[in-house]
A = this chain, B = another copy of it.
Amino acid sequence: MEFPKENFSEWYQEVLASAEIVDNRYPVKGMLVWRPFGFAIRKHVTGLLRELLDETGHQEVLFPTLIPETSLDKEAEHIKGFGGEVYWVTYGGKSPLDVKLALRPTSETAMYPMFSLWIRSHADLPLKIYQIVSVFRYETKHTRPLIRVREVSTFKEAHCALRTEEEAEEEMKIIDGVYKAFWTELGIPFLRVQRPSWDKFAGADKTIAFDTIMPNGRTLQIATSHRLSQKFSKAFNVVYEDENGEQKYAYLTSHGVSERAIAALIGVHGDNRGLVLPPEFAPVQIVIVPIIFKGKEDIVMKKAKEIYDKLVVNWRVKLDDSDSNPGDKFYYWELRGVPIRIEIGPRDIQNKVLTISRRDNLEKVQIPEDRLLDELNKLAEEIHENIKKRAMQEFKRKIVVAKSLDEIKKSDNKPVVIKAPLCEDWEECGKKVEDQISKEFRGIDLDDKPEGEKCVVCGKPAKYYGVWSNAY
């Protein structure tokens, strides 16, 4: 119980610091340093995201960090939504700039002037690109590492241009598929929620968000997908000539995932000893700890190295041959979420077995040395599945389905997410519920529909499940 998870906020800060994920002592509030261990997790997570986007025909690019005010200003709703939290560059050296430059809060307005140059004919569409970059928001709310920051240092933003509204809707589905695969692999359960109109991305006509539930019952928005229709293409003149020679405005979509993916990975799976990482995302997948007894040093170290050499071909493996005692080594690597620990002592060597500890359930097993490689593959798979299963059970425990306003109110002060049936006027009725409770109306669940139920507000036939939560 080095890191009691009951008090999640403290646990989270403590584990981020102790496991050397990020350092938030950097002398600008809300801006963090990724340390080597944290960076390695980030690399594996972004690696999967890149793979999934590449496979579905999205191409990686890199746009400038700065957006001229003249571009940021072009779409009225967008600048209204973002203007208040933009960092402005006003000087180059000692010279004031002619045009102020914004640190990108998101890159729609950086990309569309180029879309307007690149797109000429229907043959240039669809255009599907993405980048993984820093974006900046002058947050006035309380900041939290990886969750609410002023420099989002890991922002995957995909931006697509399509010919028709149908193709845009199709792209929304393709990205849904990418995100589902991504969160499933990370073992992060989610609700796929359509946001109410007042909570959409500034300039979008539809926003779908993925929300997970953190251990304290608060939802964390971990991905978004925006159908932008033609608002931006009209503002930026993103036009193509269709098959009949007619000039048409393109339909645009944008899709974001940030380092909150790593906040969720840490928060959802961790336990009282620190991080618990699925093997695929663990910087160190296997740690070998030699258990040294006096007079047996050589034989143990020799075997440990032999095992290391065998594993290093296919695994991210670490042989901890430091001077610390085994207990300290166990503590150190458990905190860092290493999924598999192999202990090697003189007796194990004599019996031709290895002692293997799982980080996820802390169980130990002995396996014959000659079956090590097969067992590890099986074990890594089992660990991944168990982590996913556990997270899903916990997720379900944190969702209360209420049938009436009274039931909603009863759960309002609990650390849970509330779902309840709403009619087709879900925005209006959802808002009426919000006005009577402390939780926030997040929108409607897109993957679960009520059958034969009634709206908890107006009593009309229910069409959707509304979602209310305390949100990060």
Contact = CB atoms under 8 A, between A and B. Distances in A.
A7 B472 CA distance: 58
A138 B98 CA distance: 13
A87 interface: yes
Given A66-B151, A153-B64, A93 B138 contact: yes
Given A92-B138, A129-B36, A117 B64 contact: no
A333 to B, nearest CB: 17
Contact of A114 (B26, B83, B114): B26
A404 interface: no
A129 B63 CA distance: 25
Contacts of A101: 28, 87
Contacts of A66: 28, 31, 87, 151
A113 B62 contact: no
A27 interface: yes
Identical subunits present: 2
A151 B84 CA distance: 25
Interface in A419-440: none
Contacts of A117: 23, 25
A432 B358 CA distance: 70
A91 B93 contact: no
Given A26-B113, A27-B68, A31-B66, 11 more contacts: A33-B61, A34-B61, A65-B134, A65-B136, A66-B87, A84-B93, A87-B91, A89-B103, A90-B90, A90-B91, A95-B138
Interface of A: 23, 25-28, 31-36, 39-40, 42-43, 59-66, 68, 70-71, 83-95, 101, 103, 110, 113-114, 117-118, 129, 134, 136, 138, 151, 153
17 contacts: A26-B110, A33-B114, A34-B61, A36-B59, A36-B60, A36-B129, A39-B62, A65-B65, A65-B136, A66-B87, A84-B94, A85-B92, A87-B89, A87-B101, A88-B89, A88-B90, A89-B103
